[in-house]
Amino acid sequence: MLLAITLSLILEKLILISVILGGSLGIAMYSTWAERKVAAIMQDRRGPNRAGPFGLLQPMADGLKLFMKEEIIPTFSNKFLFILGPSLAMVMALLTSAVIPWGPAFGDMQLQVADINIGMLFIFGVLSVGVYGIMLGAWASNNKYSLLSGVRAASQAISYELAMGLSLIALLMVTETLSVREIVDQQSGSILNWNIVRQPLGFIIFLVCSFAELNRAPFDMAECESELIGGYHTEFSSMKLGFFLFAEYINMFITSVILACLFFGGYNFPGMDWVGANVPPLVFSLIGVVVLLTKAIGFILFFMFVRWTLPRFRYDQLMNLGWKKLIPLALANMLITGAIILYNMNN
């Protein structure tokens, strides 16, 4: 009996992992198409329109091209680390999805790979390791531009992780938990229960830091073509280059989901209790998944909009913003949050 339950649980988790893996890769693939379409709309162009209707087959054509390209490893590179770098970046990007609650539970089945009580620490730990993929790939390339890119990526990650962590501490002071599912469940009911209402400054700091952690414009100092050719992936080709590009878009998708879970109620929506009482449990769970993905897609489009709107920061401006602006703001937000909590406890 125990063996059957264990095997059933393992099978359930394997199916869920496969769906999340396939969904993340699919969304990352079509994010490349959406990026070009958003850029085309903002620049009064058409964008991809030849590979299938509306260019919808363009990501598949790009993927086939990467698979078919010649595999080149520079002669004087560290070959093991040269391969490990993009592989590590890709694995770490996918690992962050393990603790995300993708929707309401369906019977005894949780739409979450691992519901651990330190989910946010897990996400921060994996994100911190992810930058090592960029650093290893940059150093192993034996290219001065790639090495400079790796140094920039490391210093940028260190600078903005501090402000991001401090903004999260204020949120955790309000929610009193590190579990992502508990944070989402606390935001059920009215929109006024969403953490964006209780932590607006924390959300802005977290969002700005997310741009820096993702190396997205205007914080794309690690791969700015005007200075560093292609940055850390200058020497990469074929699927090693594809892994770096896919890791960037998967990270953008997962970050968008995390933003939705932490500040915008996750899979919660107004009228959720009435819908749950009037539709079958499976349909209710699927509605929750669609709501979460809709919020995440909104953030993805916002990331793309900003890329084609704001110019790139200079490196000194980027460091000044992180150390002299965001960290003091995050500390002030944390102190204000603590003062409000203390006031409410005493009254």
Strand, coil or helix: 49: coil
In angstroms, the Cα distances linking 93 to 66, 242, 308 are 19, 13, 24
Contact 277/120 with Cβ under 8 angstroms?
no
How far is Cα 205 from Cα 183, in angstroms, rounded to an integer? 18
Per-residue pLDDT of the chain (347 residues; tens, 9 = 90+): 667 767 877 888 888 889 888 988 889 889 989 998 988 988 888 888 888 888 888 888 888 888 888 787 777 778 888 888 888 888 888 888 889 999 888 877 788 888 888 888 898 888 888 888 888 888 888 888 888 888 888 888 888 888 999 999 999 999 989 899 999 999 988 888 899 999 999 999 999 999 888 888 788 876 766 666 767 777 877 888 888 888 889 999 999 999 999 999 999 998 888 888 888 888 899 999 999 999 999 999 999 999 888 888 888 888 899 899 999 999 999 999 999 998 888 87
User: Which sequence spans correspond to the domains of the chain?
Assistant: 69-269+280-346
Name the residue among 110, 71, 124, 74 with its Cα closest to residue 285: 110
Q: Tell me the DSSP string of 62-87.
A: HHHHHHHS-----TTS-HHHHHHHHH
The pairs formed by 336-340 with CB atoms below 8 angstroms and a separation of 24 or more are: 337/170, 337/173, 337/174, 337/199, 337/202, 338/173
Cα dihedral across residues 201, 204, 210, 213: positive or negative: negative
Q: What pLDDT is attached to residue 258?
A: 94
**Predicted TM-score (pTM) of this structure:** 0.92
